[in-house]
Amino acid sequence: MRDSGELETLGRGLYRLSDLPPLGNPDLVTVGMKVPSGVICLISALAFHELTTQIPHEVYIALPRGAEPPRLDHPPIRAFWFTKRAFEFGVEVHKLDGAQVRTYSAGKTVADCFKYRNKIGMDTAREALKLYLERRKKNLETLLEAAEVCRVSKVMRPYLEALV
Please report how many Cα atoms fall inside a 13 Å half-sphere around the Cα of residue 28, on the Cβ side. 27
Nearest to 49 by CA among 115, 96, 98, 116: 96
How many residues are given for the chain? 164
Distance set, CA 75 to CA 56, 101, 103, 112, 155 (Å): 11, 15, 17, 22, 33
Q: Are strands 77-82 and 59-64 parallel, antiparallel or unpaired?
A: parallel
Give the separation between CA 65 and CA 58, rounded to whole angstroms: 20
Provide the CB-side half-sphere exposure for 63 (13 A, CA): 16
Q: Could you list the pLDDT tens digit for every one of the 164 residues in the chain? A: 778 888 877 667 777 677 776 666 778 988 988 899 999 999 999 999 999 999 889 999 999 999 998 988 888 999 999 999 999 999 999 998 878 999 999 999 999 999 999 999 999 999 999 999 998 788 899 999 999 999 999 999 999 989 87
From residue 83, alpha-carbon distances to 62, 96, 115, 129, 152 in Å are 10, 27, 12, 23, 14
